[in-house]
Amino acid sequence: MKIVITGVTRGLGRALAEEFIRGGHTVLGCGRGGEAVFDLRMTHQAPHDFSVVDVSLDSKVALWAAKVLEAGSPPDLLINNAGLMNRLSPLWEQDDREFTKIVDANLRGVANVIRHFVPAMVAAKKGVIVNLSSGWGRGASANVAPYCATKFAIEGLTKALAAELPAGMAAVPLNPGAIDTEMLRQVRSDGAAASPKPAAWAKVAAPFILGLGPEHNGQSLSVGNLEE
């Protein structure tokens, strides 16, 4: 299977990429960290490929997508994982620059990737798009308003996309659950360590994601729970 993943340099994206590769799938990923991307390139060579891309920049995503798509068929699985967490504070203390940075990465970045990869998938009338949501995309907490706003938006954006796709395809907003990542440690420094590590999570999440298909189109799912 040909899998495209954003945000592969750390956390859930890196863990998923490693797990998919172990399973024999081809992974084409991007991230903002040049050193981490170089490490991935050296560790996992062709047919895998990794590029330095800031998904909030539409022109950079366009170039990356053109490179991936000219090399062969469209992805069977597109995972929008890249995202940022806001600085913890009440909404009124978040300035416009901070708020815009979160929206650009978490929401516009997803739209940019969809804009440049999904037309080829639609033309082939096959493929699954998974947009990483959050528990904070279905419920809210204090001091994470910008992050909540983007993840609530991901839920709506993905469901609308699901209604636009041809039969045989699927778009799914997926809540990964609470995982011991750098992002979770930003907001739960005292409790993150009790959550599963990314590598352990990926052993459950990777087969779960690979099992998604047209019958799950538009469903808000959580890893390990196809009934939610």
How far is it, in rounded angstroms, from Cα 86 to Cα 223?
24
The question of whether 147 is a catalytic residue gets the answer yes
Are the C-beta atoms of residues 220 and 152 closer than 8 Å to each other? no
Q: Which of 175, 192, 90, 171 is nearest to 134 (CA)?
A: 175
- Residue 127, helix vs strand vs coil: strand
Residue 47 near residue 31, CB atoms below 8 Å: no
Catalytic residue among 64, 117, 147, 152: 147
Q: Strand order of the sheet with strand 49-52?
A: 49-52, 26-31, 2-6, 77-80, 127-132, 169-175, 221-222
Angle at 60 between CA 38 and CA 161, to 5 degrees: 110
Q: b/e string for 6-43 if b means 16 or more Cβ within 10 A?
A: bbbbbbbbbbbbbbbbeeebbbbbbbbeeebbeebeee
Tokens of 118: 């999904």
β-strand partners of 225:
222
Q: How many CB atoms lie within 10 A of CB 167?
A: 7
Instruction: Provide the annotated active-site residues.
Output: 147
